[in-house]
């Protein structure tokens, strides 16, 4: 950085941290915090997949890692099954029970009969038959109950159906095999071809593990008398263990966090800082429950606007404040300790108050405070057990620690450790820590004398682990609890035990602390949330790049996207609400059109307000005509809390009001206005507000605003919105704080306001106007300003979010945002006079044109619109190009608690190799293929004589199809005296099996079986070719393939159009022949080569092929084919033909390669490009900068680097506006003269 001579110049980095991208801006300010210059600005796009970013924003219950874990669990399960099968096969072979292929190929009915007979006393099976039965039992060994399933309603219903199935066969005195054989036999039908088929499907019949264990025991009991020397007790126990053994779950204790308040750092073996200390306690621990209850009770503050004696309203809130005494707090705690929830009604009852007193507990109580759920669940489970009262006893005692507070001289207290010997604690710990039912039964009987089966069942059904962990250790809570019990707030209690709960520092401490030179990247899986980890790592890399290029900065100001400041549940609710709102807005737009008004965003908002208030003025109750309201005549949008005293322009602060009320209200709050100016309507107004809230017409926030007096306006509204409670917010600030002295966090609403006031909103619109004009996506819009009608050209449906660079503008605004601005906006109510005086000082002739806030904000120091526009023009959006193919891995196992490396040199693919669907391949007869096409694949010809003649003709003509065709015209193919001009061929087609319930109308013609196709087509026609109607019809009426309705169709096979090179073999039979195929995933890159003759050859390399190249130590992108072929020739290891077939030929030269998200300059000559580079003309370069969006065979998509959307519906207009180039020929590619460049983290364009 060019450092200014003035040492008072400060450098500020602004960051706009979002889910999908990071905007940044580096500025210089003088000692008065006035901006001097924009040093640099840019945007870094975070490399998240659509699935990852959408999943995070929507707060999906299942993360990407969870999906991977499920797939990995399935693979592990299958691997263990194969291992179990191999062990069982070896064991039965050693016992002489090995069997041949004739028993493997038994029809289902015969096999199940054999299994049924095996468990029938007196029915003797041969040893090989017993071996076959055991292998069949091993294939499906039933559902084993897990304790965690009890809390899942869907799982509970599933388990109930499984158990009912078992009870039914127990009542019938049957084993699983006998029951299924009976059903198969009852459904057996002999077809026209004489084959027996069973319509009953055993696949979906799941029984509990106990049913299969009972069947195994029955088989052994029935067959052991015949083979006592073979089926010894030891052999039977060994077989049973092989089939049914299931290892216990691994402990996850190492994943539990260390308590932040008790952890201590030390230097580990590798020299890195490691933390040790007590782990956080389970949230269901009786101690954690008690601690949480005291924290919530100490936060309760009751407020009332009514005098308890007269019922009149208080003038101020302070007069109606009710402070709880310590005795009252103890009474509340006592109630909550034995109840699951404390409601406002119950709270008032405990305090001897009633609703007529007008008291409310606000957000502290809300819909209720959570009580001691652990106590309540255990009490419910114990029921009428005689010793329940003693078992639920939990008494805590505070003791002197012997330590003295240095400042106060008071002896420090803590809760005695003997609480762990309290009956409730011991019972909770027993139920919490034991997962096995029989082990729990034994422990309950031994420790507590509980031997009642029903009580044991109810206790076992409690899952205390699902609630997770608190954020404090038991040790810390024991230190904290005595001071909470004195009625102190959490923050105050922390000071008594010398704990800085918020990690805040004084100015002196900030100056003294040592800063790091750069940020260390987060370790893999350090945060156990891949999306958050990627976002923070990109921020770390970006900040380090700024430091490397420009040196350290003095301050970082950061804004986090709303999604990053909310929990998963909150993100899910926000997304659901937004989706619902979008749906409602479409309906409102249609209704607005019915009023002969053009719908707009503002008018849709007005319609919501109008409906919300019952089509009346919220204050005086006069009817409001929507057309007048929509056009701004007679009725207006009204701020509940005036914007002159409260910074909030959200929907929760807006209502529909007639013009007279709006003008009369002025700077009063809605509550004060109605009370003072419309006293006769005040009671009905309050009732109306309460009614709207109770009927869910208005939100809790709007309800509170409508009943808020001027003195109640909060002064920390924006601070609450900063929301630094979420882990990513705290972690981001913690990371930045380690390298910069001052880190401040701002909020999006403030950024939006100042960006608008300073005129930055229109920058991107104006920069994109000419681009959108090319595709006729602009329109002339009329507007009225100062009484004058104006016409302006606007982009249709424009949003700043269509351009990545809006993040950079937001970051620049954040960099200019002094913390004092937020403080000023927080205290608008008390700062208005000072703001006015400041404006008068700056301009004695000041006359208000806008609101006082807007006028004051517009005059705060900032860069001009032209300065910002010039900086934005130079931005090259930075994003990670290409994709890493593999990473080295190793396999670790734990032995005696220590990690042992079992395997190294593993290549771990960085993505899915294939799609999940597995295809089969069949031969299909194609009739009368013409002679010319027979030459392409002569091996597919059915007639051997014709096939031999054509193959010989090709050999005679050097396998040249054109020469061979001319040859055959002179020497026709004659077989049995007949000239052959066409022949039948077998062609290989890929097929996939799918459930008939998922079938759609367009799929019918792809059905392989002609009989099934006809039956499905008939049903589709009956349903009017409607997919939904067809699927609903299958519930009551299955599709039958025969006239007698004996063979229902459950699944169908469909032809697919995959080419042979687009799929990979993923399953093979015992001989190694491929029998299952899967489609390869996305293309990794396209490489273009020039042969010696000047021809261009394209090679498209899928991700699968890229991984294979890594596996055989070949370059992923082959730049010098000759060197690669020389290397292959000198190798001792053999490379498969399928890999060699994808390589470029010797003699070819790499002309160009492309990967997804690589950047190219298009439309400039080489000379223009070099001139722009040498002159640092980034505005020209960025106007021609494109990223590779997607690649296919001679089909390359280049998207303008600033564009955020890739909607296929806009493809045509995007091409017209040159936002998108779709290249489908080498000639077009040549005309664009693609020049590959690299964009680093800071957006610098680097020629390659």
Which residue ranges are tagged as binding site for Mg(2+)? 16, 559, 563, 807
990: tokens are 């890929």
Residue 779: beta bridge partners? Answer: 794
**3 state SS for 358-372:** CCECHHHCCCCEECC
Q: How far apart are CA 1145 and CA 1121, in angstroms?
A: 7
Nearest to 1219 by CA among 735, 708, 777: 777
Question: For residue 20, what are the β-bridge partners?
Answer: none
How does strand 1074-1079 pair with strand 1083-1090? unpaired
Residue 1237: φ, ψ to 5°: -135, 165
* Integer Cα distance of 311 and 640 in angstroms: 26
Contact yes or no for 535/564 (Cβ under 8 A): yes
| Dihedrals phi, psi of 472, to nearest 5 degrees | -135, 150
Euclidean distance between CA atoms 191 and 1191, whole angstroms: 51
Distance in angstroms between the alpha carbons of the first and the last residue of the chain: 25
Distance CA 1235, CA 1161 (A): 5
What single DSSP character describes residue 1048?
B
Distance (Å, rounded) from C-alpha 239 to C-alpha 333?
57
1068 vs 1077: CA distance, rounded Å: 9
Q: Which residue has the tokens 């621990």?
A: 285
* Feature table: binding site: 16, 559, 563, 807
Whether 639 is catalytic is yes
* Residues 1017 and 984: beta-carbon distance below 8 Å: no
Residue 456 CA, distance from chain mean position:
39
Instruction: Choose the catalytic residue: 357, 639, 862, 1084.
Output: 639
CB atoms within 10 A of CB 415: 22
Q: Cβ neighbours of residue 993 under 8 Å, at least 6 residues apart?
A: 920, 1051, 1052, 1053
Instruction: Please tell me the distance from the alpha carbon of residue 608 to that of residue 655, in angstroms, as a whole number.
Output: 9
3-class state of residue 959 by DSSP: coil
**Burial 1211-1221, CB ≥16 within 10 A → b, else e:** eeebeebbbbb
CB 952 within 8 A of CB 907: no
Cα 478 to Cα 484: distance, rounded to the nearest angstrom:
10
Which structure tokens are listed for 1182? Answer: 């960025």
What's the CA gap between 665 and 659, in Å, rounded?
10
Q: Are 1020 and 1001 in contact (CB under 8 A)?
A: yes
φ, ψ for residue 528 (rounded to 5)? 55, 25
**Whether 1123 is catalytic:** no
Per the CB < 8 A criterion, the answer to whether 165 and 151 are in contact is: no
**Annotated catalytic residue, options 16, 91, 704, 803:** 16
Greatest alpha-carbon span in the chain: 120
Cβ-Cβ contacts under 8 Å for 838 (sequence gap 6 or more): 856
CA angle 582, 22, 819 (to 5 degrees): 95
Q: Which of 1199, 1217, 1194, 1206 is nearest to 1160 (CA)?
A: 1199
Short-list 985, 977, 970, 980, CA closest to 931? 980
List the beta bridge partners of residue 322: 302
Distance separating alpha carbons of residues 82 and 85, to the nearest angstrom: 5
Q: Which residues are catalytic?
A: 16, 639
């Amino acid at each position: 950085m060019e450092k200014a001579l003035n040492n008072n110049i400060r450098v500020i980095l602004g960051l706009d941290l979002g889910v999908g991208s990071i905007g940044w801006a580096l500025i210089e300010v003088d000692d008065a915090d006035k901006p001097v210059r924009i040093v640099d600005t840019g945007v870094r796009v975070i490399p998240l997949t659509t699935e990852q970013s959408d999943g995070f924003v929507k707060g999906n219950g299942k993360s990407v890692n969870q999906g991977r874990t499920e797939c990995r669990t399935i693979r592990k399960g299958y691997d263990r099954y194969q291992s179990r099968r191999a062990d069982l096969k070896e064991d039965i072979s050693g016992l002489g029970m090995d069997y041949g292929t004739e028993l493997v190929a038994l029809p289902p009915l015969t096999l199940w009969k054999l299994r049924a007979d095996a468990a029938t006393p007196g029915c003797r099976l041969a040893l090989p038959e017993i071996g076959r039965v055991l292998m069949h039992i091993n294939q499906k060994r039933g559902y084993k109950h897990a304790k965690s399933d009890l809390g899942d309603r869907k799982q509970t219903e599933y388990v109930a159906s499984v158990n009912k199935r078992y009870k039914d066969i127990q009542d019938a005195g049957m084993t699983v095999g006998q029951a299924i054989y009976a059903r198969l036999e009852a459904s057996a039908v002999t077809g026209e071809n004489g084959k027996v088929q069973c319509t009953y499907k055993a696949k979906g019949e799941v029984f509990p593990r106990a049913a299969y264990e009972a069947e195994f025991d029955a088989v052994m009991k029935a067959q052991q008398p015949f083979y006592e020397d073979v089926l010894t007790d030891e052999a039977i126990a060994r077989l049973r263990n092989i089939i049914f053994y299931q290892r216990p779950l691994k402990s996850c204790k190492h994943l539990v966090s260390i308590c932040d308040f008790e952890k201590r750092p030390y230097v580990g073996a590798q020299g890195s800082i490691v933390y040790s200390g007590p782990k956080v306690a389970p949230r269901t621990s009786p101690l954690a429950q008690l601690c949480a209850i005291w924290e919530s009770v100490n936060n309760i503050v009751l407020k009332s606007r009514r005098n308890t004696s007269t019922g009149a309203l208080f003038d101020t809130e302070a007069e109606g404040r009710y402070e709880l005494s310590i005795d009252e707090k103890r009474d509340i705690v006592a109630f909550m300790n034995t109840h699951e929830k404390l409601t406002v009604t119950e709270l008032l009852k405990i305090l001897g108050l009633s609703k007529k007193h007008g008291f409310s507990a606000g957000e502290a109580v809300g819909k209720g405070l959570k009580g001691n759920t652990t106590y309540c669940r255990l009490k419910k489970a114990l029921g009428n057990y005689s010793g329940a009262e003693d078992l639920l006893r939990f008494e805590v005692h505070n003791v002197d620690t012997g330590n003295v507070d240095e400042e106060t001289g008071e002896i420090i207290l803590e809760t005695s450790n003997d609480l762990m010997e309290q009956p409730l604690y011991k019972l909770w710990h027993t139920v919490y820590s034991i997962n096995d039912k029989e082990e729990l039964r034994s422990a309950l009987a031994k420790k507590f004398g509980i031997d009642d089966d029903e009580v044991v069942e109810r206790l076992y059904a409690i899952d205390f682990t699902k609630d997770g962990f608190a954020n404090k250790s038991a040790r810390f809570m024991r230190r904290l609890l005595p001071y909470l019990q004195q009625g102190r707030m959490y923050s105050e209690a922390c000071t008594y035990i010398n704990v800085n709960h918020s990690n805040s520092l004084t100015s002196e401490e900030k100056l003294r602390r040592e800063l790091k030179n750069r940020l260390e990247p987060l370790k893999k899986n350090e945060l156990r949330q891949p999306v958050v980890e990627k976002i923070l790592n990109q921020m770390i890399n970006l900040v380090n790049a700024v430091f490397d290029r420009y040196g350290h900065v003095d301050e970082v100001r950061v804004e986090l996207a709303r999604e990053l400041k909310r929990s998963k549940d909150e993100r899910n609710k926000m997304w659901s609400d937004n989706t619902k709102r979008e749906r409602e807005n479409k309906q409102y737009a249609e209704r607005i059109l019915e009023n002969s008004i053009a719908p707009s965003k503002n008018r849709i908002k007005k319609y919501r307000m109008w409906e919300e208030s019952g089509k009346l003025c919220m204050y005086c109750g006069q009817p409001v005509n929507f057309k007048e309201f929509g056009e701004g005549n007679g009725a207006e949008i009204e701020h509940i809390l005036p914007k002159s005293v409260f910074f909030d322009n959200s929907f929760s602060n807006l209502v529909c009001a007639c013009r007279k009320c709006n003008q009369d209200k002025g700077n009063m709050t809605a509550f004060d206005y109605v009370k003072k100016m419309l006293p006769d309507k005040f009671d009905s107004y309050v009732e109306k507000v309460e009614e709207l809230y109770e009927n869910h017409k208005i939100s809790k926030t709007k309800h509170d605003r409508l009943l808020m007096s001027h003195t109640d306006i909060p002064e920390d509204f924006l601070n609450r919105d900063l929301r630094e409670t979420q882990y990513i917010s705290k972690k981001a600030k913690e990371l930045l704080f380690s390298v910069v002295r001052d880190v401040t966090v701002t909020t999006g609403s403030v950024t939006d306001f100042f960006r608008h006031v300073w005129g930055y909103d229109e920058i991107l619109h104006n920069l994109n106007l000419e681009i959108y004009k090319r595709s006729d996506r602009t329109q002339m819009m009329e507007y009225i300003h100062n009484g004058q009608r104006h016409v302006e050209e606007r982009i249709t449906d424009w949003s700043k979010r269509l351009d990545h660079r809006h993040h950079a503008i937001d970051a620049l605004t954040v960099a200019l945002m002094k913390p004092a601005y937020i403080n000023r906006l927080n205290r608008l109510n008390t700062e208005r006079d000072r703001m006015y005086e400041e404006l008068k000082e700056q301009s004695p002739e000041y006359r208000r044109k806008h609101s006082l806030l807007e006028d004051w904000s517009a005059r705060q120091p900032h860069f001009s619109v032209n300065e910002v526009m010039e900086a934005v023009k130079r931005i090259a959006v930075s994003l990670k190009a290409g994709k890493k193919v593999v990473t080295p891995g190793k396999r670790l196992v734990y032995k005696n608690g220590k990690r042992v490396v079992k395997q190294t040199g593993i290549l771990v693919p960085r993505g899915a190799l294939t799609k999940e669907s597995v295809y089969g391949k069949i031969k299909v007869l194609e009739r009368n293929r013409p002679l010319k096409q027979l030459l392409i694949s002569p091996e597919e010809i059915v007639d051997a004589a014709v096939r031999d003649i054509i193959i010989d003709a090709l050999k005679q003509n050097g396998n040249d199809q054109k020469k061979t065709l001319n040859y055959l015209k002179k020497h026709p193919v004659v077989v049995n005296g007949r000239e052959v001009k066409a022949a039948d061929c077998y062609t290989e087609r890929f097929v996939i099996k799918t459930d008939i319930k998922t079938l759609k109308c367009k799929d019918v013609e792809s059905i392989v079986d002609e009989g099934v196709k006809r039956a499905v087509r008939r049903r589709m026609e009956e349903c009017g070719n409607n997919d939904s109607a067809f699927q609903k019809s299958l519930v009551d009426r299955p599709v039958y393939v025969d006239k007698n309705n004996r063979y229902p169709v459950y699944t169908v096979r469909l032809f697919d159009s995959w080419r042979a090179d687009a799929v990979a073999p993923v399953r093979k039979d015992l001989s190694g022949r491929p029998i299952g195929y899967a489609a390869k995933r996305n293309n990794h890159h396209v490489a273009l080569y020039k042969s010696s003759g000047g021809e261009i050859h394209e090679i498209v390399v899928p991700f699968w092929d890229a991984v294979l190249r890594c596996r055989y130590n070949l370059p992923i992108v082959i730049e010098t084919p000759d060197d690669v072929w020389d290397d292959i020739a000198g190798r001792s290891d053999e490379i498969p033909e399928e890999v060699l077939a994808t390589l470029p030929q010797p003699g070819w030269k790499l002309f160009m390669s492309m990967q997804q998200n690589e950047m190219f300059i298009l439309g400039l000559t080489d000379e223009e490009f070099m001139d722009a580079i040498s002159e640092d003309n980034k505005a020209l370069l960025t106007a021609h900068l494109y990223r590779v969006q997607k690649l296919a065979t001679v089909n390359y998509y280049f998207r303008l680097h600033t564009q955020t959307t890739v909607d296929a519906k806009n493809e045509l207009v995007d091409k017209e506006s040159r936002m998108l180039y779709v290249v489908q020929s080498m000639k077009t590619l040549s005309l664009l003269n693609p020049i590959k460049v690299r964009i680093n983290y800071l957006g610098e364009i680097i020629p390659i």
